Structure 1
Amino acid sequence: MSARMEPSAAASLSGNSVMFAQYSWCQGSAAASSVISQISATLRAARRTYSRNARGTWPTIAILGVILCAPRVFGLSTTSKGLGATLSPMPRGNQLNTRSALILTTIVISFEVGRGRLERVNTRETGGKMSNPNILVSSVSEAPDGWQRDAIQNFELRLLDAQNPFPCIFGVGAMAQGTLRFGFVADSGGQDSNLAHLLTLFTQVCRDLGNRTSLVCFFESWAVERNHDAYFRHFWALLHHTSTHDDDSWPVEVDRHPEHALFEFSFGGEAMFVVANTDLHTQRKSRYFERVTLTFQPRFVFDGLEAGGAKGDRARSIIRARLATYDAAPVSEQLGNYGDSNNREWRQYYLDDGQHAQIPSECPVHTFSPGAETVA
């Protein structure tokens, strides 16, 4: 993804798209396979990365493109005469080649202009300067060089390790399908506002990604003190402050109080189970990562997997069996089923590290109601 986009639609065309347009106009059928390959890659990238903010642009640009290209698409060549033009029949072979090239070019242009519009929207939201240009990506290739790219590469290797299967089969499936989304939370600009921006982008597109998706957020740094108590309290303070940036209503079916059985962290109208991975989880390997990483799983990921159902019970059985061999720490007693009267979701967000680290028994956030304060 481009780090910066110019205001004009023409300037928003990527190098690949411009090359494709020029090449397909000139080469005809000889370029067919190359054209198809390039357009397929462009469309896949567009589908993965563009939010619904840009969608309104695509039909408009596509229609304009067809109108502009109509003479050639219908087999007529244009001959300029001064300020006017005349139309004459074009050889049939050229008609087909030009028609295909023009249609594909129009599609590419519509996606590229859509991306330009989306990134300009993001720029306006941050006061004319994007706080993190590559804030939401879908693959290693889209990540900036540095710790961001290293984080995705190592995360992918971990989830897709066939020799040591990762316990969360939902995360593994999403990684394999390419439906995970990755974000990078920089220190500059404030972690809470950066995370809120990520969640806003993700909740706009998550339902279009299918029922196997999550947002994985890698953090540039975390708490100053390197111990579980400090990490735990920083985690809950961050969720609380991030929630204050949410302009959407809390889902009516989800409780705002962590001690309620129907509590789940919510943002952008989506209830999401949160998983904290840290560099301190040396025994509970399923919760370890080299830098603090928060994963937000929309609750709709678990639709049809409720406790008592065949699919849900089978999935839980597989996950718990993998946890028993993956972790050096015993399977946590905090794991439970959403909605059960004795289950507390918040206890599963940041798990302890077995016998070597204990987590406070009380959630630092009493409620996610507007104006609520965290516990000291």
Structure 2
Amino acid sequence: MTEHPLVEQARALLTLDRDEEAGELLARRLAEDPDDVRAWVQLAYVHQGLGRDEEVLTATAAALALAPDDYEALIVRAYALRRSTRREEAEATARAAIGLAPELWNGYAALSEALTAWQERWPEAFDAASTAVRFGPEAVNAHRALWKASLLVGRNDVRAQAVREVLRLDPQNAWALAELADRAEYDATRAPLIGAGAKLTASADAAATALVADPSSERFRKQIDAAVFRMLRGTRWIALVCLVLAALAARVFPTGDDATSLPAPLGTRVWALTLMALAWAFGAWRRYRRLRAGVRLSMWSLVRRVGWARLVVVQSAWITTTAVVIALSPWSDRLIPQILFWVALVPTLLTIRLERAAAR
């Protein structure tokens, strides 16, 4: 059936997320012809996009009163019924759609959504979503239905595969990119100290990619800030390693019967400086230079905006500078290097403890 031009224009506006304008055109069309089924269905989509479930049910009821076997109206209505917690009606409506067109994926996805209302029927929801993907392997929403059902039944492998399939079909899909960012953040927050850097980098990169797809998202901005702040905090551990290396090389603390003499050999101190340079090269520069440009800019922006981030940078620089001074100087007495060591170490450890207490 040929759609009226106003309905065609409204459908085009809906694809651009201009729901209000589409609704105005459809209201004009229905004022002209209240029996236009396609106008009622498109109006249901408008209300769905605006989160008006009761209006969706009213529009689909009008469409189904005119055409009881309208497949599209049944699908939209099934989702609205599920959101309105009318779960038995949602299931019945989805099954009616499947009965009309058992070869189409939409009905199975709607049925899966309806069945998620009962915890004991989550396996059925998973089966229905799997069927939707089988009939619609190129449909983004079929994979999204499978993602949700696999989450409920604990099939993390299927859940991850569903996200990959959505990105294969739509590489800039905001929902899939957000899911990747959330997963990367989860992995980063639970990563052990050793190896956490790669997880934090992945979390920041994933959030930056999601932010490109959804520039207005404050959540992803905060996720990037959280990841880069944890990266900055990691630099203090590199600095503390340098401090310990310097103290050992310069013989800051006596060992045994204090058989060693001061100053420490130049070669030992130079070797300590080399190890310190390697620690920074592999621990910081090698990691941070691989960050995408947007994440690096976020890091410097965070340092400018947040005083605690500036404190972390200052502490890392102060500890490293102290370590270099301790290693380079030919100390003939241990008092001054010991004072430098403790002045660098103690405030930093106290700051780290405060941060952890605040995080808890």
Q: TM-score range by the shorter chain?
A: under 0.3
Higher relative contact order (CA 8 A, sep 6+): 1
User: Greater share of strand residues, 1 or 2?
Assistant: 1
TM-score, scaled relative to structure 2? 0.24
TM-score, scaled relative to structure 1? 0.24
User: Greater share of helix residues, 1 or 2?
Assistant: 2
